Structure 1
Amino acid sequence: MAGKFVISKDKRGEYRFKLVAANGQTIAVSEGYSTKVACVNGVESVRKNAPDATVDDTTLASV
């Protein structure tokens, strides 16, 4: 099973999504969105813009 996006509504009435790995571990959690449409757009943005994203670790000391 591949990872999945899970959309929920929080106590403040905002929509959020989280990216959940195949093993059930939460990988990422979104900001709060005022509408479900905006939340779905956020999911689509992550899908579109990060399929091959690299990691920029700024905590590594330059040598």
Structure 2
Amino acid sequence: MAFTSSDICKIIFAIFIPPVGVFLERGCNADFCINILLTILGYIPGIIHALYIILKY
């Protein structure tokens, strides 16, 4: 699977601001809300979820 420049930008956003990376990939839906909740509860789970969403879709 080849990464495009937009994927790399999303991954960078996912590391620093996880909800932004998910928003860029999936928009404002349940995944975005879950990621905000995970980021509030703990920064690392938010990053893991964001990277999962970006790499899955």
TM-score range, shorter chain: 0.3 to 0.5
- Which structure dedicates a bigger proportion of its chain to helix? 2
Whose radius of gyration is greater, 1 or 2?
1
Give the TM-score of the pair, scaled to structure 2: 0.43
Q: Which has the higher strand share?
A: 1
